Structure 1
Amino acid sequence: MLRIGHRGAKGYVAENTLDSFGEAFLLGADGIELDVHLSEDGEVVVIHDKTVDRTIANASGVVRHFTSEELWRLGDVPTLNKVLHWVPKNKFINIEIKDKKATHPTVLLIENFTLNSDLLYRNIVVSSFDWEILRLVKALEPKIKIGVLIEDDLEAAFQFAKEMKAFSINPNYKSLTKEFVQKAHASQFKIHTWTVNHPEDITFVKNLGVDAIISDYPDRL
């Protein structure tokens, strides 16, 4: 079972920063989950919200109205390119695309990063709640693994995963059942569940036999 730090070690360090990712690995994480948008200068940047208001002090506005350099200077927002080269090669990376316009640049970054090293595709999964983004990822580069993010409609996610030959289904842990995990495994899908923070919930999903747990507190896994 993979232990994945949600936006790094979000429970301890400012989310989606290199410090947060580093802390997650120090706490024993096998990988990290992060979110991407597109900056004003066309760079894929690692930030969750479409605005900077919540995560960057003394700044407000839409992410797309800031350059990547401004985002780095104002709030330690790294580019995806920087993160891909910074994360140890044996660690897992789940890239959640939040902005459809970031899809093509994200695919290009992954392709360039994995050039001449197909093994590295094993350690990268692209996920999204917007399944049209996942459809586009597969059309652009079929070798990239996708994870179907879903809140509660597990059957719809299962059918889409079959259609897209997805790597994983990534459901909210509250919607999971033992039967669904077994059904997914029978069709060769991994189950990467989120965001599991409390000890009793961690025990619950472990007993279901999930393949990865995404948590703000990777040391609890």
Structure 2
Amino acid sequence: MTAPPLRVVLAEDHRIVRAGFQALLAAEPGVEVVAETGDGAEAVALVAEHRPDVLVADLALPGLDGVEVIRRARAASPGTAAVVLSMHDHEAYVARAVGAGASAYVLKESGPEDLAAALRAVRAGGRFFSDGLADPAGRGGSRPLDRYDALSPREREVVHLVAEGLTAPDAAERLFLSPRTVETHRANAMAKLGLGSQAELIRYVLERGLVPPRRPEA
């Protein structure tokens, strides 16, 4: 009896790169890409709609960063495994992705065989990490408690947008909130994190891999 196809939602913000990954996935036997997007919030909505077997997501997504996308997608569809595609190999990015529920972390600089291996691994209920990356869950002990985990979902959204360089009015427009409400969420987040300035907030999220650094303009 033929196994059902592995249904995948793909989230990557660069169209050309997304087309390349879609082609790789389509060429993989038994894999079906049911939806694709370049936006973080839409990726969560697509996972909730399609309930795919796997979400393949970049970490650098507009709207919501990839880590928050994974966190929300897994909450909306617990049966969906998450595979990260990233150019970042720092352990902070890997740890944050795994902490959000990712089962595999594939470096974009690796060969296409890594993506295929990641899909095979998560299909079997396993995990996969590109060469040179360590599985944080395999180091023993639990992940140290991070004050970031005490932030509300809205506070996280505001933190991500601030780290991306948006002003309070710009973030308010993106989130359909008032600038005063955005400033309140930012102040509350900074208080919970023990930070005294916006510069410290931006440095905090970048050092911990919560928001990947902005890519240079092409």
Whether TM exceeds 0.5 here: the answer is: no
TM-score, structure 2 as length reference: 0.31
Q: Which has the higher strand share?
A: 1
TM-score, structure 1 as length reference: 0.31
Q: Which has the higher helix share?
A: 2
Q: Which protein has the larger Cα radius of gyration, Structure 1 or Structure 2? A: 2
